[in-house]
């Protein structure tokens, strides 16, 4: 965990309201670091439904495999998250650790092990000593309270420089419901579902299949449209929990994601996902600039996404932005290597609204001084117009600085 807060950190942190049916508690279990909170327990009322999306990595962590297996039941009573150790690439020991953690949690909460969900983040390849949770989780179950959102978000941080939280309140039927979430992520970020760890909670009454459909659709233009370094984690986990407590206030039960009564809820749900995803981009390791890449005029939206990701993941593009250099030649390179339809002589490129290249050459009105000044902004927008079709997409990334190398050069030492 870095000591200096990212200059891109949000200046306004929302007040996080309590959500009926959710209680939170954190502790220092000494998983990797001494004297810092590294365990989060979220207690969920009986009847809470759950949905999840996970990394598509072929080398997933033990907790990812555990959650995938338990998701079929559709019910959750507790979430246990630890930082400092990812419990990934840990073989049979990793599976044993998840089983022991779930057993300790189930006993502490008083529920079935199948209703316990797990997530771990930190170093890959180190065995996780689950006996450290013994006694700790029991204590947390006794002290869990509805309001410690910031403490919870801090407990799951690794190289993050600030806790990431977001919330929204919206009408479902005639009742007010709340959607709140937290996320962690700063490095090894290239979504292949969602990237990092993130947990969303709501008191809305939503069936597990409807929640799953909402979540799967919601990540596509939020977490799946963020990249820091092009490296998809072994541990990516995004879980959503719906306690259903708002049914007592008259909120209708939503059994289908397409239910027209849920339209405003879906919009608010996606806004929370988008907020958290942007905060991950803002906390990219060593980041000094938030970078928005818009590709339009592509053959299709998937084609635009591939081209945007090619630009966003280019070290040459990212280092140019770090150096406040509007090096559009590197953008041309990234478009050309993406393997998607593109026509050099129809291409135009803009930096922060200033067109620098058009029709296969430098723009006639190009002014180096004007563009250099624009590149000093904390947020840089690169817009690429391909002129081939109606496909459009947007992704977020950050610049690549010397600090990124420093953080990752001594991460395990």
Token pair belonging to 14: 């929302």
- Residue 117 and residue 101: Cα distance in Å, rounded? 10
In tens, the pLDDT along 283-326 reads: 988 899 999 999 999 999 999 999 999 999 999 999 999 999 99
What residue spans in the chain does CATH classification 3.60.70.12 cover? Answer: 22-282
Give the architecture (CATH level 2) of 290-409: Roll (3.10)
Burial of 67: CB neighbours in 10 Å, binned 0-12, 13-18, 19+? buried
Confidence of residue 185 (pLDDT cuts 50, 70, 90): confident
Q: Pick from 277, 314, 273, 309: which is nearest to 293 by CA?
A: 309
Buried b (16+ CB within 10 A) or exposed e, 310-345: bbbbbeebbbbbbebebbbebbbbbbeebebebeee
Tell me the two tokens of residue 270.
Answer: 């996606």
Q: Work out the average pLDDT over 71-97.
A: 95
Per-residue pLDDT reduced to its tens digit, 115-151: 999 999 988 899 999 999 999 999 999 999 998 999 9
What is the structure's pLDDT at 35?
Answer: 83
φ/ψ of residue 167, rounded to 5: -150, 155
Alpha carbon 268 to its chain's center = 16
Considering only 97-111, 148-162, 342-356, 399-413, which range has the smallest mean pLDDT? 399-413
pLDDT at 151: 95
pLDDT at 34: 83
pLDDT of 343 > 60? The answer is yes
- Residue 193: pLDDT band with limits 50, 70, 90: very low
Q: Given phi > 0 = left and psi -120 to 50 = alpha, else beta, which region is 11? A: alpha
pLDDT, residue 13, reads 93
Which residues, other chains included, contact 188 with Cβ-Cβ below 8 Å and sequence gap of 6+?
Answer: 228, 229, 231, 232, 233
pLDDT digits (tens, 9 = 90+) for 22-63: 999 999 998 988 888 999 999 999 999 999 999 988 999 999
CA atoms within 13 A on the CB side of 307: 31
Cα torsion angle, 213, 217, 218, 224, sign: positive
* Burial environment of residue 378 by CB neighbours within 10 A (0 to 12, 13 to 18, 19 or more): exposed
5: left (phi over 0), alpha (psi -120 to 50) or beta: beta
Name the binding residues for substrate.
158, 184, 195, 285, 408, 413
396 pLDDT higher than 90 = yes
Residue with tokens 């962590």: 61
Q: Which class in CATH covers the domain with range 22-282?
A: alpha beta
pLDDT mean over 251-263: 97
Delimiting residues of CATH 3.10.20.340 domain(s) in the chain: 290-409
Instruction: Assess whether pLDDT exceeds 70 at residue 195.
Output: no
- Which residue blocks in 161-300 are alpha helix, DSSP H? 208-219, 263-282
Catalytic residue among 26, 195, 222, 232: 195
The confidence band for 97, taking pLDDT boundaries of 50, 70 and 90, is very high
Render the burial of 146-182: b for 16+ CB within 10 Å, e for the rest: eebbeebbbbbbbbbbbbbbbbbebebbebebbbbbb
Q: Which residue is associated with the tokens 């929302």?
A: 14
State percent of the chain over pLDDT 90: 86
Q: 353 — alpha (psi -120 to 50), left (phi > 0) or beta?
A: left
* pLDDT of 413 higher than 50: no
- Residue percentage of the chain with pLDDT more than 70: 96
**Residue 234: other Cβ atoms inside 10 A:** 22
pLDDT tens digits for 162-171? 999 999 999 9
Q: Report the pLDDT value the prediction gives residue 186, as an integer from 0 to 100.
A: 77
- For residue 173, give both structure tokens: 């039927």
Integer Cα distance of 331 and 312 in angstroms: 9
pTM exceeds 0.85, yes or no: yes
Least confident of 213-217, 231-235, 331-335, 341-345: 231-235
Quick check: 334 pLDDT over 50? Answer: yes
pLDDT per position as a tens digit, 268-280: 999 999 999 999 9
Based on the residue annotation, tell me whether 222 is a catalytic residue of this protein: no
Known binding-site residues equal: 158, 184, 195, 285, 408, 413
Q: Chain-wide mean pLDDT for the chain?
A: 94
pLDDT of the residue at 406: 87
DSSP secondary structure code for residue 71 in this structure: G
């Amino acid at each position: 965990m870095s000591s200096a807060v990212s200059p891109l950190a949000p200046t306004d942190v929302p007040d996080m309201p309590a959500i009926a049916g959710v209680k939170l508690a954190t502790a220092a279990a000494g998983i990797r670091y001494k004297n810092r909170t590294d365990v989060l327990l979220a207690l969920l009322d009986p009847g809470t439904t759950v949905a999840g999306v996970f990394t598509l990595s072929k080398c997933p962590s033990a907790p990812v495999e555990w959650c995938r297996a338990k998701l079929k039941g559709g019910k959750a009573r507790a979430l246990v998250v630890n930082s400092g150790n990812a419990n990934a690439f840990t073989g049979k020991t990793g599976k044993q650790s998840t089983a022991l953690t779930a057993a300790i949690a189930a006993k502490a909460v008083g529920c079935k092990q199948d209703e316990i969900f797990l997530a771990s983040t930190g170093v890959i390849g180190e065995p996780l000593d689950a006996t450290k949770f013994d006694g700790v989780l029991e204590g947390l179950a006794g002290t869990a309270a509805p309001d410690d959102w910031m403490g919870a978000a801090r407990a799951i941080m690794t190289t993050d420089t600030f806790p990431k939280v977001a919330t929204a309140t919206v009408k479902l039927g005639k009742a007010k419901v709340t959607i709140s979430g937290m996320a962690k992520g700063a490095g090894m970020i290239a979504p292949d579902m969602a990237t990092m760890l993130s947990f969303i909670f709501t008191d809305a009454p939503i069936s597990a299949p409807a929640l799953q459909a909402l979540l799967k659709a919601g990540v596509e233009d939020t977490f799946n449209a963020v990249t820091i370094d092009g490296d998809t984690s072994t541990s990516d986990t995004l879980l959503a929990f719906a306690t259903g407590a708002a049914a007592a206030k008259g909120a209708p039960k939503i059994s289908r994601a397409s239910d027209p009564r849920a339209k405003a809820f879906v919009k608010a749900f996606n806004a929370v996902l988008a907020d958290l995803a942007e905060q991950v981009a803002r906390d990219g390791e060593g980041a000094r600039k938030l970078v928005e890449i818009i590709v339009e005029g592509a053959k299709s939206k998937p084609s635009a996404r591939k081209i945007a990701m090619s630009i966003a993941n280019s070290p040459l593009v990212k280092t140019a932005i770090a150096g406040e250099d509007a090096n559009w030649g590197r953008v041309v390179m990234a478009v050309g290597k993406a393997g998607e339809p593109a026509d050099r002589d129809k291409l135009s490129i803009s930096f922060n609204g200033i067109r620098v290249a058009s029709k296969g050459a430098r723009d006639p009105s190009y002014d180096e001084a004007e563009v250099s000044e624009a590149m000093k902004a904390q947020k840089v927008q690169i817009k690429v117009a391909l002129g081939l079709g109606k496909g459009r997409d947007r992704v977020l990334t950050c610049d690549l600085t010397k600090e990124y190398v420093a953080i990752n050069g001594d991460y395990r030492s």
